[in-house]
Structure 1
């Protein structure tokens, strides 16, 4: 199979090349990336943009069964374990209803072109089992299910995902995080948890990634820059719940690796493109701008979200399995952009994603 594109983002550096022919062999491997003139029996045209499949590095899929619940309540009332409204609603669901809601969420993520979803699942091993059942018909989108302590944990779980290090005994958190990889936790989501030393416990526990980090201090970033730990930012969620905007500016200043998530499915569809755009807008508001800034945001989608959980990024590269998206560059105007990285962050959205390519399969999305 040959794919012709006017522009492609290739290799892990997301190099921009123009007028390309991507040739995929019978095993679904990218055999060559050449000039467009080498294509002879192809799909696509000069207005197509070929981009990698992004990762959504943090979701709570089970919330999809009760969208927009508790809009009059604060974050603590909604999600605190075990008495938050969320957990009461989860406990009220039948197992089949739970699986159905998760499955619907995963299908939405697939239709948005995601290559990876990292899912925090409540309910111990039973919660992880529900995700495995919900994903059994999803092909070519990786789903990493991070469970938390509970009934039948760690069966069916791919790693550990806990609400906060201060929800458990410190030594137990350290033991869990070092034993079950990948491991993630929410951190510094409000001032109270930060003041209760959630960051210090997380640093002792060797988590692979920390989620939110809204109230991290400058000294914390000094510590983080010497650690191989990722920050996961969910800007829409933080704004919806009346918290701070994620510290994307400090992450860039201290060269901290970051990725992007959409958080709870009850309030947000898994649209990481929208989250990336918000990060770009916030940085511009703070006079941090340019093509290299937009490129770093794209790397958070296409590279870092995968590496945070030890998965190979689904990049467009010779010798790699074929997993990428084809964007309508004409309708989105990306094809004529003078600043392509900024344009891709701002203009890629569901309506412009025409196909997802998975090995030898071409799946029409719009």
Structure 2
């Protein structure tokens, strides 16, 4: 198989005219050559932080605080999840996963509520879908053991030292929310030496220094932070110090669209468009240990093809900037997952 058009090549997303050659699901060559195609070929997205379970309750809880919305064990989200049947949760999550696929998302890093049962529910929702989910169980060590790791709610909610050690001994990912409400739980989260942090809306200078020294990756979810009223993360300052990836967070609060997250982030933060595209692709892939997120030889061919001749994209002078700030679901021509 080969795909022709403007290829956003490598980590810098250099726009080159040519074709991507794929053999047995692997990118084997990127050939520079003249082509009549107006397609734009880029890596499929990696959504680095999702909570798909609350797909059952989109736009519920208007006006509630962050704690009232999502804090365990009795935030609105958790009450609704307990009240929903397994069939309802599987069906709703399946639809969100299908939407993500159609929008060019190859994988998500899912913080999965509900212990072992919650992990089983998302496995059911993934049946028949091409998208990959790196599932981090929550609440119990058993959930970590049957999933890809552990996703901790936050250092203020519980003591996670033993679970961190168990996850490390199992050779799995450990992620934790930090700095979402305020700065008080950031140092305890960093003390756990996690594989990544989520949110970091309120880091103080000491925390930024620690992040820079440790180079612990951070996943930011600025649309979610805005909706819950906690503020927005200092994205430029974080990018200057470590790897930063993008996530869409709770489906209850936001659509799981990486197009929307990129546009919002690019217009909010003083970082180049290519950096935002890295945040939506290779940076999340690197956190999860996935062999995609870039168009380069040897990578798995998880690719997104946009029609560069849509009314929305035609005439773009800066292709990367147009992809990040302007492209949307209507511009998707093909998705290869």
Q: TM-score range by the shorter chain?
A: over 0.9
Equivalents in 1 of 2:95, 2:204: separation in Å?
Answer: 38
Residue pairs, 1:183-222, within 5 angstroms: 183-191=174-182, 194-195=183-184, 198-222=185-209
Residue 179 of structure 1 deviates from its aligned partner by 3.7
TM-score by length of 2: 0.93
* Equivalent residues in 2 for 1:1-366, closer than 5 Å: 1-5=1-5, 7-18=6-17, 20-25=18-23, 27-37=24-34, 45-139=36-130, 141-150=131-140, 152-169=142-159, 171-179=161-169, 181-191=172-182, 194-195=183-184, 198-252=185-239, 254-283=240-269, 288=270, 293-331=272-310, 334=313, 336-358=315-337
Contact 2:282 2:292 in 1 (8 A): yes
Provide the aligned length of Structure 1 versus Structure 2. 336
Contact 1:32-1:318 within 8 A present in 2 as well: yes
The 3-state SS of whatever aligns with 1:225 is helix
CA distance in 1, matches of 2:142, 2:20: 46
**Residue aligned with 2:105, SS:** coil
Distance 2:236 2:28 in 1: 39
1:177·1:206 contact (CA, 8 Å) conserved in 2?
Answer: no
| Structure 2: unaligned runs, 5 residues or longer | none
Q: Is the 8 A contact 2:304 2:336 kept in 1?
A: yes
Q: Is the 8 A contact 2:292 2:301 kept in 1?
A: no
Do the aligned residues in 1 keep the contact of 2:291 with 2:299 (CA within 8 Å)? no
CA contact (8 A) 2:267 2:325 kept: no
Counterpart Cα distance in 1 of 2:29 and 2:314: 22
Map Cα deviations across residues 174-212 of structure 1 (whole Å, 9 max, x no partner). Answer: 434534521111101112xx32xx222222212111111
Q: Tell me if the contact between 1:50 and 1:325 (Cα under 8 Å) persists in the aligned partners.
A: yes
Larger Rg: 1
Gaps of 5+ in 1: 40-44, 359-366
Q: Is residue 305–residue 332 contact of structure 2 (8 Å, CA) maintained in 1?
A: yes
Deviation string for 1:39-96 (max 9, x for gaps)? 8xxxxx4211101101100010000011111113111111111121111111111122
Between the aligned partners of 2:140 and 2:161, the Cα distance in structure 1 is 17
Q: 1:129 to 1:156 in 2, by over 3 A?
A: farther
CA distance in 2, matches of 1:58, 1:182: 13
Classify 1:87/1:123 alpha carbon distance in 2 versus 1 (closer, same or farther; 3 Å): same
For 1:309-350, what per-residue CA distance to the aligned partner results, in whole angstroms no more than 9, with x for missing partners?
222223222233322111111215646433332222112210
Return the TM-score normalized by structure 1: 0.86
Seen in structure 2, the aligned counterparts of structure 1 residues 265 and 184 have a Cα distance that, compared at 3 Å, is same
